[in-house]
Structure 1
Amino acid sequence: MANQLYKQVLFFFFFFLSVSLLQSKSFNLKKPCKHFVLYVHDIAYDGDNKANATSATILNPMGLGDFDFGQLVLVDNPLTMDQNYLSEPVARAQGFFFYNGMTNYNSWITWTLVFNSTQHKGTMTIMGANPIMEPTRVLSIVGGTGDFLMTRGIVTLKTKLVQGNKYFCLEMNIKLYECY
Protein backbone atom coordinates (compact mmCIF):
# COMPACT_ATOMS: atom_id res chain seq x y z
CA MET A 1 0.00 0.00 0.00
CA ALA A 2 2.78 2.45 0.94
CA ASN A 3 4.66 1.42 -2.22
CA GLN A 4 1.59 2.24 -4.36
CA LEU A 5 1.17 5.66 -2.67
CA TYR A 6 4.89 6.36 -3.20
CA LYS A 7 4.54 5.60 -6.94
CA GLN A 8 1.52 7.91 -7.27
CA VAL A 9 3.22 10.79 -5.49
CA LEU A 10 6.34 10.32 -7.63
CA PHE A 11 4.23 10.20 -10.81
CA PHE A 12 2.42 13.46 -9.99
CA PHE A 13 5.70 15.16 -9.02
CA PHE A 14 7.33 14.34 -12.38
CA PHE A 15 4.12 15.13 -14.28
CA PHE A 16 3.85 18.64 -12.82
CA LEU A 17 7.59 19.20 -13.18
CA SER A 18 7.49 18.32 -16.88
CA VAL A 19 4.39 20.46 -17.51
CA SER A 20 5.98 23.45 -15.77
CA LEU A 21 9.21 23.04 -17.78
CA LEU A 22 7.28 22.89 -21.05
CA GLN A 23 5.36 26.05 -20.21
CA SER A 24 8.36 28.02 -18.93
CA LYS A 25 9.60 29.01 -22.42
CA SER A 26 7.60 31.96 -23.72
CA PHE A 27 7.97 33.74 -27.05
CA ASN A 28 7.63 37.45 -27.60
CA LEU A 29 6.60 37.71 -31.24
CA LYS A 30 6.95 41.49 -31.12
CA LYS A 31 10.63 41.37 -30.19
CA PRO A 32 12.97 38.79 -31.75
CA CYS A 33 15.86 37.41 -29.69
CA LYS A 34 18.24 37.94 -32.66
CA HIS A 35 17.81 40.12 -35.73
CA PHE A 36 20.14 40.79 -38.66
CA VAL A 37 20.09 41.48 -42.39
CA LEU A 38 22.13 39.62 -45.02
CA TYR A 39 22.24 39.74 -48.81
CA VAL A 40 22.14 36.69 -51.10
CA HIS A 41 24.03 36.90 -54.40
CA ASP A 42 23.13 34.37 -57.11
CA ILE A 43 24.98 33.99 -60.39
CA ALA A 44 23.33 31.42 -62.65
CA TYR A 45 25.53 29.05 -64.63
CA ASP A 46 25.12 29.73 -68.35
CA GLY A 47 27.71 27.36 -69.84
CA ASP A 48 30.48 29.98 -70.00
CA ASN A 49 30.85 31.20 -66.40
CA LYS A 50 31.96 28.07 -64.57
CA ALA A 51 34.52 29.99 -62.48
CA ASN A 52 32.05 32.34 -60.76
CA ALA A 53 28.61 30.67 -61.06
CA THR A 54 26.87 30.04 -57.73
CA SER A 55 23.80 28.16 -59.00
CA ALA A 56 23.07 25.61 -61.68
CA THR A 57 19.90 24.19 -63.17
CA ILE A 58 20.08 20.42 -62.91
CA LEU A 59 16.63 19.54 -64.19
CA ASN A 60 14.73 21.59 -66.73
CA PRO A 61 11.80 19.68 -68.27
CA MET A 62 10.68 21.20 -71.54
CA GLY A 63 7.14 22.18 -72.49
CA LEU A 64 5.55 22.23 -69.02
CA GLY A 65 4.42 25.86 -69.02
CA ASP A 66 5.69 29.40 -69.40
CA PHE A 67 6.88 29.77 -65.79
CA ASP A 68 9.82 27.31 -65.62
CA PHE A 69 7.55 24.74 -63.94
CA GLY A 70 9.57 21.73 -62.84
CA GLN A 71 12.96 23.44 -63.07
CA LEU A 72 15.28 22.40 -60.20
CA VAL A 73 18.22 24.64 -59.28
CA LEU A 74 21.07 23.86 -56.86
CA VAL A 75 22.70 26.83 -55.12
CA ASP A 76 25.84 27.69 -53.17
CA ASN A 77 25.39 31.45 -52.91
CA PRO A 78 27.53 33.86 -50.88
CA LEU A 79 25.83 35.95 -48.17
CA THR A 80 27.21 39.40 -47.42
CA MET A 81 26.41 42.19 -44.95
CA ASP A 82 25.72 44.65 -47.79
CA GLN A 83 24.51 44.59 -51.41
CA ASN A 84 28.03 44.61 -52.87
CA TYR A 85 28.81 41.23 -54.43
CA LEU A 86 32.52 41.76 -53.84
CA SER A 87 32.09 42.20 -50.07
CA GLU A 88 33.51 39.52 -47.78
CA PRO A 89 30.98 36.65 -47.43
CA VAL A 90 29.83 35.94 -43.86
CA ALA A 91 27.98 32.75 -44.82
CA ARG A 92 26.76 30.68 -47.76
CA ALA A 93 23.21 29.69 -48.73
CA GLN A 94 23.46 26.05 -49.81
CA GLY A 95 20.53 23.97 -51.02
CA PHE A 96 18.01 24.16 -53.81
CA PHE A 97 14.83 25.71 -55.13
CA PHE A 98 12.39 24.51 -57.70
CA TYR A 99 9.68 26.25 -59.68
CA ASN A 100 6.30 24.82 -58.71
CA GLY A 101 3.84 27.24 -60.31
CA MET A 102 2.28 26.40 -63.67
CA THR A 103 0.37 29.67 -63.95
CA ASN A 104 2.74 32.09 -62.16
CA TYR A 105 6.34 32.38 -61.01
CA ASN A 106 6.51 30.57 -57.71
CA SER A 107 9.32 28.55 -56.20
CA TRP A 108 9.91 26.39 -53.14
CA ILE A 109 13.17 27.15 -51.31
CA THR A 110 15.17 24.84 -49.05
CA TRP A 111 18.40 26.48 -47.99
CA THR A 112 20.88 25.91 -45.21
CA LEU A 113 22.77 29.06 -44.29
CA VAL A 114 26.29 27.93 -43.39
CA PHE A 115 28.11 30.43 -41.15
CA ASN A 116 31.85 30.22 -40.62
CA SER A 117 32.99 33.69 -39.66
CA THR A 118 34.40 35.34 -36.58
CA GLN A 119 30.91 36.58 -35.67
CA HIS A 120 28.85 33.37 -36.10
CA LYS A 121 29.47 29.64 -36.48
CA GLY A 122 26.86 27.02 -37.32
CA THR A 123 23.91 26.62 -39.65
CA MET A 124 20.35 27.85 -40.04
CA THR A 125 17.74 26.02 -42.14
CA ILE A 126 15.16 27.96 -44.19
CA MET A 127 12.18 26.44 -46.00
CA GLY A 128 9.06 27.73 -47.66
CA ALA A 129 7.15 29.01 -50.64
CA ASN A 130 8.63 31.95 -52.52
CA PRO A 131 6.06 33.77 -54.71
CA ILE A 132 8.74 35.53 -56.74
CA MET A 133 6.60 38.39 -58.08
CA GLU A 134 5.54 39.54 -54.59
CA PRO A 135 7.54 42.50 -53.22
CA THR A 136 8.20 40.68 -49.92
CA ARG A 137 8.07 36.99 -49.11
CA VAL A 138 8.20 35.35 -45.67
CA LEU A 139 9.78 31.92 -45.17
CA SER A 140 10.24 29.80 -42.06
CA ILE A 141 13.47 29.22 -40.17
CA VAL A 142 13.01 25.66 -38.94
CA GLY A 143 16.21 24.92 -37.04
CA GLY A 144 19.93 25.24 -36.83
CA THR A 145 23.22 24.18 -35.29
CA GLY A 146 26.12 25.88 -33.50
CA ASP A 147 25.25 29.49 -32.58
CA PHE A 148 21.76 28.84 -33.98
CA LEU A 149 21.07 25.54 -32.23
CA MET A 150 17.38 24.58 -32.59
CA THR A 151 16.46 28.15 -33.51
CA ARG A 152 13.14 29.13 -35.06
CA GLY A 153 12.00 32.31 -36.72
CA ILE A 154 11.22 33.95 -40.04
CA VAL A 155 13.15 35.41 -42.92
CA THR A 156 11.65 38.13 -45.09
CA LEU A 157 13.01 38.17 -48.64
CA LYS A 158 13.05 41.27 -50.86
CA THR A 159 14.47 41.33 -54.36
CA LYS A 160 17.05 44.12 -54.52
CA LEU A 161 18.54 43.63 -57.98
CA VAL A 162 17.85 41.47 -61.04
CA GLN A 163 20.05 41.37 -64.14
CA GLY A 164 18.24 39.21 -66.67
CA ASN A 165 18.35 35.49 -65.92
CA LYS A 166 22.02 35.62 -64.85
CA TYR A 167 22.23 37.53 -61.53
CA PHE A 168 19.99 38.48 -58.66
CA CYS A 169 20.47 39.91 -55.19
CA LEU A 170 18.00 39.28 -52.34
CA GLU A 171 17.78 41.04 -49.00
CA MET A 172 17.23 38.55 -46.15
CA ASN A 173 15.77 40.17 -43.04
CA ILE A 174 16.28 37.44 -40.42
CA LYS A 175 14.31 37.47 -37.16
CA LEU A 176 14.86 34.66 -34.67
CA TYR A 177 12.20 34.13 -31.99
CA GLU A 178 13.53 30.99 -30.33
CA CYS A 179 17.19 31.24 -29.36
CA TYR A 180 19.21 29.02 -27.04
Structure 2
Amino acid sequence: MVFYFHDIIYNGKNAKNATSAIIGAPAWGNRTILAGQDHFGDLVVFDDPITLDNNLHSTAVGRAQGLYVYDKKEIFTAWLGFSFVFNSTEHRGSINFAGADPLMNKTRDISVIGGTGDFFMARGVATLMTDAFEGEVYFRLRVDIKLYECWK
Protein backbone atom coordinates (compact mmCIF):
# COMPACT_ATOMS: atom_id res chain seq x y z
CA MET A 1 0.00 0.00 0.00
CA VAL A 2 1.30 3.45 -0.88
CA PHE A 3 -0.01 6.67 0.63
CA TYR A 4 1.16 10.28 0.83
CA PHE A 5 0.86 12.53 3.80
CA HIS A 6 1.07 16.27 3.64
CA ASP A 7 2.41 18.32 6.56
CA ILE A 8 1.90 22.11 6.71
CA ILE A 9 3.57 23.48 9.83
CA TYR A 10 2.18 26.58 11.53
CA ASN A 11 4.58 29.51 10.99
CA GLY A 12 2.70 32.33 12.70
CA LYS A 13 0.87 33.36 9.52
CA ASN A 14 -0.85 30.28 8.12
CA ALA A 15 -3.26 29.16 10.87
CA LYS A 16 -6.05 28.58 8.32
CA ASN A 17 -4.04 25.98 6.35
CA ALA A 18 -1.68 24.56 9.00
CA THR A 19 -1.95 20.86 9.83
CA SER A 20 0.85 20.77 12.41
CA ALA A 21 2.25 22.96 15.17
CA ILE A 22 5.36 23.17 17.32
CA ILE A 23 4.21 22.41 20.87
CA GLY A 24 7.62 22.25 22.53
CA ALA A 25 10.88 24.03 21.82
CA PRO A 26 14.35 24.32 23.41
CA ALA A 27 15.27 27.45 25.38
CA TRP A 28 16.84 29.06 22.28
CA GLY A 29 13.79 28.32 20.09
CA ASN A 30 10.15 29.27 20.02
CA ARG A 31 6.87 27.64 19.03
CA THR A 32 6.39 29.56 15.78
CA ILE A 33 9.69 29.07 13.94
CA LEU A 34 11.67 25.83 13.93
CA ALA A 35 14.84 26.06 16.05
CA GLY A 36 18.33 26.33 14.55
CA GLN A 37 20.83 23.48 14.98
CA ASP A 38 18.80 21.11 12.74
CA HIS A 39 15.62 21.93 14.74
CA PHE A 40 17.01 20.01 17.72
CA GLY A 41 14.52 19.89 20.58
CA ASP A 42 11.42 20.90 18.64
CA LEU A 43 8.34 18.76 19.30
CA VAL A 44 5.66 18.92 16.61
CA VAL A 45 2.14 17.49 16.74
CA PHE A 46 0.27 16.89 13.48
CA ASP A 47 -3.08 16.00 11.94
CA ASP A 48 -2.22 15.69 8.23
CA PRO A 49 -4.35 14.54 5.28
CA ILE A 50 -3.47 11.18 3.67
CA THR A 51 -3.96 10.88 -0.10
CA LEU A 52 -3.46 8.12 -2.66
CA ASP A 53 -1.36 10.40 -4.88
CA ASN A 54 1.02 13.28 -4.29
CA ASN A 55 -1.61 16.03 -4.78
CA LEU A 56 -2.45 17.87 -1.56
CA HIS A 57 -5.87 18.72 -2.98
CA SER A 58 -6.84 15.12 -3.82
CA THR A 59 -9.57 13.49 -1.77
CA ALA A 60 -8.19 12.47 1.61
CA VAL A 61 -8.59 8.78 2.51
CA GLY A 62 -7.67 9.41 6.13
CA ARG A 63 -5.48 11.40 8.50
CA ALA A 64 -1.90 10.98 9.72
CA GLN A 65 -2.03 11.90 13.40
CA GLY A 66 0.86 11.95 15.85
CA LEU A 67 4.10 13.70 16.67
CA TYR A 68 7.72 14.04 15.68
CA VAL A 69 10.68 15.19 17.72
CA TYR A 70 13.86 16.57 16.16
CA ASP A 71 16.39 14.64 18.22
CA LYS A 72 19.93 15.38 17.09
CA LYS A 73 22.05 18.54 16.93
CA GLU A 74 24.63 17.38 14.38
CA ILE A 75 22.33 16.22 11.57
CA PHE A 76 18.71 16.59 10.50
CA THR A 77 16.88 13.65 12.11
CA ALA A 78 13.67 12.97 14.02
CA TRP A 79 11.75 10.34 15.95
CA LEU A 80 8.19 9.64 14.79
CA GLY A 81 5.16 8.22 16.55
CA PHE A 82 1.92 8.39 14.57
CA SER A 83 -1.16 6.63 13.24
CA PHE A 84 -2.85 6.55 9.87
CA VAL A 85 -6.54 6.81 10.72
CA PHE A 86 -8.73 5.67 7.82
CA ASN A 87 -12.42 6.32 7.30
CA SER A 88 -12.98 5.61 3.63
CA THR A 89 -14.98 3.08 1.64
CA GLU A 90 -11.81 1.03 1.05
CA HIS A 91 -10.22 1.09 4.54
CA ARG A 92 -11.49 1.53 8.08
CA GLY A 93 -9.38 1.55 11.23
CA SER A 94 -5.83 2.62 11.93
CA ILE A 95 -2.21 1.62 11.36
CA ASN A 96 0.29 2.65 14.06
CA PHE A 97 3.94 3.54 13.40
CA ALA A 98 7.00 4.38 15.50
CA GLY A 99 10.70 4.81 14.87
CA ALA A 100 13.73 6.87 14.00
CA ASP A 101 13.63 8.98 10.85
CA PRO A 102 17.12 9.92 9.61
CA LEU A 103 15.78 12.58 7.25
CA MET A 104 18.94 12.93 5.16
CA ASN A 105 18.59 9.35 3.89
CA LYS A 106 16.65 8.98 0.63
CA THR A 107 14.52 6.18 2.13
CA ARG A 108 13.95 5.31 5.78
CA ASP A 109 12.19 2.34 7.37
CA ILE A 110 10.01 2.61 10.45
CA SER A 111 8.08 -0.09 12.27
CA VAL A 112 4.39 -0.82 11.92
CA ILE A 113 3.57 -1.60 15.53
CA GLY A 114 -0.16 -2.29 15.50
CA GLY A 115 -3.53 -1.37 14.17
CA THR A 116 -7.29 -1.49 14.54
CA GLY A 117 -10.28 -2.32 12.33
CA ASP A 118 -9.17 -3.61 8.92
CA PHE A 119 -5.58 -3.50 10.25
CA PHE A 120 -6.15 -5.26 13.59
CA MET A 121 -2.81 -6.30 15.14
CA ALA A 122 -0.86 -5.19 12.04
CA ARG A 123 2.91 -5.72 11.97
CA GLY A 124 5.32 -4.72 9.25
CA VAL A 125 7.56 -2.01 7.87
CA ALA A 126 6.82 1.35 6.30
CA THR A 127 9.40 2.85 3.96
CA LEU A 128 9.33 6.65 4.06
CA MET A 129 10.62 8.91 1.32
CA THR A 130 10.49 12.70 1.31
CA ASP A 131 8.55 13.32 -1.87
CA ALA A 132 8.59 17.14 -1.72
CA PHE A 133 9.27 20.03 0.60
CA GLU A 134 8.88 23.80 0.45
CA GLY A 135 11.19 25.57 2.85
CA GLU A 136 10.32 24.80 6.44
CA VAL A 137 6.54 25.06 6.03
CA TYR A 138 5.45 22.11 3.85
CA PHE A 139 6.66 18.59 3.27
CA ARG A 140 5.11 15.52 1.71
CA LEU A 141 6.09 11.96 2.60
CA ARG A 142 5.55 8.92 0.41
CA VAL A 143 4.79 5.95 2.68
CA ASP A 144 5.09 2.42 1.24
CA ILE A 145 3.58 0.01 3.78
CA LYS A 146 4.35 -3.69 3.79
CA LEU A 147 2.30 -5.66 6.31
CA TYR A 148 3.61 -9.06 7.34
CA GLU A 149 0.90 -9.82 9.85
CA CYS A 150 -2.63 -8.50 10.02
CA TRP A 151 -5.72 -10.15 11.54
CA LYS A 152 -8.98 -9.29 9.92
CA distance in 2, matches of 1:62, 1:106: 19
Aligned to 1:94, the other structure's residue is in SS state strand
**Pick from 133, 136, 139: which aligns with 2:110?**
139
Choose between structure 1 and 2: higher helix proportion.
1
Deviation at 1:67, TM superposition (A): 1.4
Structure 1: 4+ residue segments shifted above 3 A: 62-65
**Pick from 82, 85, 88: which aligns with 2:56?**
85
Aligned to 2:143, the other structure's residue is in SS state strand
- The reply to whether residue 51 of structure 1 matches residue 22 of structure 2 is no
Report what 1:173 is aligned to: 144
CA distance in 2, matches of 1:66, 1:97: 16
RMSD (CA atoms)? 1.1
Report what 1:129 is aligned to: 100
**Pick from 101, 112, 125: which aligns with 1:154?**
125
CA distance in 2, matches of 1:88, 1:110: 24
Q: How many residues are treated as equivalent by the alignment?
A: 145
TM-score (structure 2 length as normaliser): 0.92
Gaps of 5+ in 1: 1-35
Paired AA for residue 103 in structure 2: I
Higher CA-based Rg: 1
Deviation at 1:59, TM superposition (A): 1.0
CA distance in 1, matches of 2:7, 2:105: 19
Gaps of 5+ in 2: 30-35
CA distance in 1, matches of 2:113, 2:74: 28
Report what 1:96 is aligned to: 67
Aligned to 1:38, the other structure's residue is in SS state strand
TM-score (structure 1 length as normaliser): 0.78
Choose between structure 1 and 2: higher strand proportion.
2
Pairing of 1:1-150 with structure 2 (within 5 A)? 36-63=1-28, 66-150=37-121
Deviation at 1:66, TM superposition (A): 1.0
